[in-house]
Chain A
Amino acid sequence: MKITRRQLLILLPAAAVAWDSVLAGTPETSPNYKLTEHWWGMLVDISKCIGCGNCVRACATENNVPEGYFRTWVERYHVSDTDLANPVVDSPNGGKNGFPPILGSGGRNFFVPKMCNHCADSPCTQVCPVGATFMTPDGVVLVDKEYCIGCRYCIQACPYGCRFLNPKTQTAEKCTLCYHRITKGLTTACCEACPTGARQLADLKNPNDPIHEFLRTHTVQVLKPYMATGAKLFYNDLDGSVR
């Protein structure tokens, strides 16, 4: 068969279109899970947290978090009566092994569990130069390990200090809100392991989720609201001194 130059020029774009659809394949989808039907967040009730560190250990176990790095951690605040603006905060090994019994005397003492706030307008996803971190349609901020180039912009951008560079993979890592669990109808590992119910996974698009009643009846805050990140990690009984 002889192809003239004219014929070849006509064929090439057609071949490009065909090749494009070959690469497409069939996108995988979970059978029962619909991305558009959920909008995930979490509720942390500080008045219930006992600082046992179960969440930190469970997270590390579930997600194979390297030792010394944390996708969630617990801080202990000591706010003295005379210096409300400057709390003393400690978090030995992220609270993974619990807390030593005494920290100062008097004042107010409490635990604050922390993790990714899964911000609706997250600064971390905005700075990624390669589209490796993003917010899913169901409201979870994730990192695409295949695409991350380890430039650390997102780690600097996060106002809550929730990201780190995995020393093995050299890619940015953070809380996934146990995406592999919540898409299967389970709660997150930290919520599953929390003995007092201080952490509750919340689906804001589910009208039957108890989060709605809770938000109506309690004084719930988010961290650093002035940064307008649209944080979805809600804190009940949050002290004004918490950073």
Chain B
Amino acid sequence: MNSFKDAEHLLRVALVFVAATIAFVLVRAALVPRSFGEYGHYRGNAITEMAAQPVVFAGHQVCEICHSDVAAIKSAGKHVSVNCEACHGALENHVNDPGTVQPPKLDTANLCIRCHQVNGARPASFPQIVADEHSAGLTCETCHQPHSPLPLIGAGAKP
């Protein structure tokens, strides 16, 4: 029996240990987000937070709902692979409020040469021009319809 006479000491240590374990569990539960470890060693809710970021480019599918006439012209021409917002810029604001938010007027002189100015690194099959020599100062849309640039058209034709 003598060997157990100090069992009370051990019990106290055990109690302290249990209390510390409970405190650890509580503090951990308070500090670690519940979704941590849902999919892996990270906060699972970060995925949904990321997905909630607002969209800025509306996407051509939305444009084509209202502007089906332009989409039809474009689909028959050389610019078929060029999505609306590639030239017109991000327009989710316009989609959300088409009445008041209007797309900005395009600076075609600079816009067209962004792609079509001659550059040695561009694929040789891609249509390229030397802007200064090409049009004698006329704007691009004098001859080209931007939504379907070939064949060449007369002055004033839109869109």
- The one of B33, B60, B114, B117 that contacts A192, using a Cβ cutoff of 8 Å: B60
Q: Does A62 contact B (CB under 8 A)?
A: yes
Residues of chain B with a CB closer than 8 A to A98's CB: 114, 117
Q: How far is the CA of A220 from the CA of B25 in the complex (A)?
A: 51
| Residues of chain A at interface, number, CB under 8 A | 64
Residues of chain A with a CB closer than 8 A to B36's CB: 131
Q: Does B10 contact A (CB under 8 A)?
A: no
Residues of chain B with a CB closer than 8 A to A69's CB: none
- The one of A13, A35, A101 that contacts B118, using a Cβ cutoff of 8 Å: A101
Partner-contacting stretch, out of A50-58, A160-168, A209-217: A50-58
State whether A27 touches B57 (Cβ < 8 A).
Answer: no
State whether B115 touches A50 (Cβ < 8 A).
Answer: yes
Q: Does B39 contact A (CB under 8 A)?
A: yes
How far apart are A23's CB and chain B's nearest CB, in angstroms? Answer: 5
Please report B residues at the A interface, Cβ cutoff 8 Å: 18, 22, 25-26, 29-30, 33-36, 38-57, 59-60, 79, 81-83, 85-87, 89-90, 114-115, 117-123, 126
Closest 5 CB pairs of A and B: A180-B53, A134-B42, A109-B121, A144-B46, A24-B34
Q: 15 extra interchain contacts, Cβ-Cβ under 8 A, other than A35-B39, A58-B57, A61-B89?
A: A16-B22, A19-B26, A23-B30, A52-B115, A58-B85, A62-B55, A101-B119, A134-B46, A136-B47, A142-B46, A144-B43, A147-B42, A186-B55, A195-B81, A195-B83
